[in-house]
Amino acid sequence: MKNLQYLVPQGHTFTIDEERPFLITTEDLAHISRIGRLVHTLLEHTMYGLGESSHWVSSILFNGLDMYYEELGIAHPRISPTLIRVDLMVDVQGNWKIAEIDPSNKHGIGFALATCYESQAKEWQRLLSLIAAYVTEDVTIVLGRKEVFFRFEQRYFAKMLAKYTGKNVMVISEDQLTKKLEDGLILDFPFCYNPESRELLGRRFFRQPEDFINPPRHMLGGKALMTLPYEYASWLESAGMSKTQIEELKTYLPPTYLGPFIGKEVFSSGAKGVFFDAVGKNTVFQKYIPQRAFLLDGAEKFIRMACFFVQDQLGELIVSANTELPVHGGNTAVHYHVEVQ
């Protein structure tokens, strides 16, 4: 076991097992690759639909999002996300299920590259080679205030990308952006709390969207996206996604619906055991997936697999494993590079 402390702030750990990879079968790899293509198709056609006429779907996807990011989200609608992270879990039957879809930020790429590199995996540059196809100029990685936890792993990612491409790759905080942003490419558009930085990036995207490797599509990272195949399939079909693709995606996606909802215990008296937190709010309800436990390092652990795609191409896999749920969020998780048996 090795703690890659250079990737995380003091007081946190990022422990990897650099000797034993998490093994999957060629069939698993085919399923994971297929999930990536289906998710990319979902995002692509959702953007196409938003670019046509879909006020009622827009209100679902943009609910709770700042108006400025809504304007960014519908600008240049033919541009779909480039960097897509899909988190997977395994149910008790051994089926892959989607836990999260995140096509709006770059978190975790450094973790995946470091785990791969430290494990001396043969294909550790696969993700870099896919991203490098978009790196035709020097690149700026903008770090938002709420992304400060990721500052070390993003610097590692920047170092590895610069080494691979021969371009300069700089990590700049949003508060330094107005002084240090230069010409060239910008990796993505994070949530910015500095109004000057937000306006600077916004003007750049409206005028020169090709400067952004990953366009600002924050609404596609919301949980409401996962309701579309279940509640708005006909809208997705009208946007060009086939019914067959939608039904196939649902086999990997837990049943997901939009609220508001009230949660009740099986036995309750009056208001006792009733949870009203979601009343009056747009809340996503998703079926709970009992997860399979894997025997890892002599203990039964649950897993969460982060799958990094560049558009619809699989770049890298990394598994986090923990004896308790949720798998993420603490210092007790162990991380594994993934290899195919």
| Half-sphere CA count of 6, side-chain side, radius 13 A | 9
pLDDT at residue number 320: 97
pLDDT at residue number 315: 95
pTM assigned to the model: 0.94
Q: Check if the beta carbon of residue 245 is closer than 8 Å to that of residue 237.
A: no
Please check whether residue 60 lies inside any domain of the structure.
Answer: yes
Please check whether residue 223 lies inside any domain of the structure.
Answer: yes
- Name all contacts of 328-334 with Cβ < 8 Å and 24+ positions apart: 328/304, 331/12, 331/13, 331/15, 333/15, 334/1, 334/15, 334/16, 334/17, 334/296, 334/297, 334/301
Collapsing DSSP to helix, strand or coil, 195 comes out as helix
Please check whether residue 22 lies inside any domain of the structure.
Answer: yes
d(CA 169, CA 225): 32
**pLDDT in 10s for each residue of the chain, 341 residues:** 999 999 999 999 999 999 999 999 999 999 999 999 999 999 999 999 998 876 678 888 998 889 999 999 999 999 999 999 999 999 999 999 999 999 998 999 999 999 999 988 766 589 999 999 999 999 999 999 999 999 999 999 999 999 999 999 999 999 999 999 989 999 999 999 999 999 999 999 999 999 999 999 999 999 999 999 999 999 999 999 999 999 999 999 999 999 888 888 888 777 788 877 777 778 889 999 999 999 999 999 999 999 999 999 999 999 999 999 989 878 899 999 999 98
Quote the number of domains for the chain. 1
pLDDT at residue number 123: 60
Please check whether residue 275 lies inside any domain of the structure.
Answer: no
Please check whether residue 172 lies inside any domain of the structure.
Answer: yes
Phi/psi at 226 (nearest 5 deg)?
Answer: -75, -10
Please check whether residue 196 lies inside any domain of the structure.
Answer: yes
DSSP state of 219: G
What range does the domain containing 71 cover? 2-254+289-340
Q: Check if the beta carbon of residue 145 is closer than 8 Å to that of residue 112.
A: no
Please check whether residue 272 lies inside any domain of the structure.
Answer: no
d(CA 136, CA 194): 28
For residue 206, the tally of other CB atoms under 10 A from its CB is 12
Please check whether residue 260 lies inside any domain of the structure.
Answer: no
pLDDT at residue number 279: 73
